[in-house]
Amino acid sequence: MRVIEVENLTKRFGSFTAVDNISFSVERGEIFGFLGANGAGKTTAMKMLCGLLRPTSGKGVVAGFDINRDSEKIKAAIGYMSQKFALYEDLKVWENIRLYAGIYGVPEKEATERSHRLLEELGLEKERESLVKSLPLGWRQKLAFSVSIFHRPSIVFLDEPTGGVDPVTRRQFWEMIYKAAAGGITIFVTTHYMDEAEYCNRVSIMVDGRIEALDSPALLKKEFGAVNMDDVFRKLARRSNNGLL
């Protein structure tokens, strides 16, 4: 079953083509890495997939809904987390969970039950009443991810989820991603850490608005005769014409 399927997706701003005719699909339970240099068009493409931006042309289905016609339904059906913004720091741990549960329409009784289990799993029972800003960054990160999939979406979009996180927490975070994917949640993730690209089932690399490569890390390395994903990335980024690098 496909959770994302897009065809010839394009977005232009005036004379500038930010996303240029991209087509790809993502399977259920897959960890899909979405890479590209700054300015390659990743954010614009992600916004269209999340129902936040209307495409100039092309079509697509995300979580069973049409990105041109049902963008509101997409927003309710997906999860989203970014490093820049994830939780309300001035709210308590339980208040954040409660707020997200409410926004995504999780019934109250269900929400109470799930939130107990969530705090237990994260070992955060004692921090229930703590303000999020008082938690160490690593805990906040794990809580943010758990909250983003609290309503059990079929897919979660993670926008640079591990930026600035310490190396141990970064790895523990990926172990959480694996667990969620094994439970059937599709993961769509962007990152600037090339070692993390290795943890994805498949990786796409955007250059100047187009998807220039899409395959498993092992096959990409083979195709480009590269020792690691960093090397693949560099070889591809050199194809860029915009000279902004």
Partner 1 sequence: MEGLTSVCKKSFSKSIVVKELAKNNGKVSFEVERGEIFGVIGPDGAGKTTLFRVLTTLLLPDSGEAKVEGYDIVKDYREIRKIVGYMPGRFSLYQDLTVEENLRIFATLFNTTIEENYHLIKDIYCHLEPFKKRKAGALSGGMKQKLALSCALIHKPEVLFLDEPTTGIDPVSRKELWEMLGRLKREGITIVVSTPYMDEASLCDRIALMQDGKFLMCDTPRAIIDSFDKNLFSVKGENMGVLLEGLRGADGVLSCFAFGDSLHITTEKDNVIFQSVTADSLKTYLEKTGLEGVEVTKTEPSVEDCFMELLSK
Q: Quote the least distance from Cβ 19 to partner 1, whole Å.
A: 15
Residue 189, φ and ψ in degrees, nearest 5:
-130, 140
CA angle 205, 211, 214 (to 5 degrees): 60
Q: Quote the least distance from Cβ 14 to partner 1, whole Å.
A: 12
User: What distance in Å separates the CA atoms of residue 20 and residue 233, rounded to the nearest whole number?
Assistant: 19
Quick one: which of 8, 178, 219, 222 contacts partner 1 (CB under 8 A)?
Answer: 178
Q: Quote the least distance from Cβ 159 to partner 1, whole Å.
A: 11
- Number of Cβ within 10 Å of residue 207's Cβ equals 22
Q: Is 219 in the site for partner 1 (CB under 8 A)?
A: no
Q: Is 244 in the site for partner 1 (CB under 8 A)?
A: yes
Task: Tokens 């799930």: give the residue.
Answer: 114
What is the DSSP annotation of 156-195? EEEESTTTT--HHHHHHHHHHHHHHHHTT-EEEEE-S-HH
Give the residues across from 156 on adjacent strands. 79, 187
Task: Give me the 64-103 binding string for partner 1, x by CB under 8 A, dash otherwise.
Answer: ----------------------------------------
Q: Quote the least distance from Cβ 228 to partner 1, whole Å.
A: 6
Give me the residues that bind partner 1 (CB under 8 A), please: 36-39, 136-137, 160, 163-169, 171, 174-175, 178, 182, 192-195, 198-199, 217-218, 228-230, 233-234, 237-238, 243-245
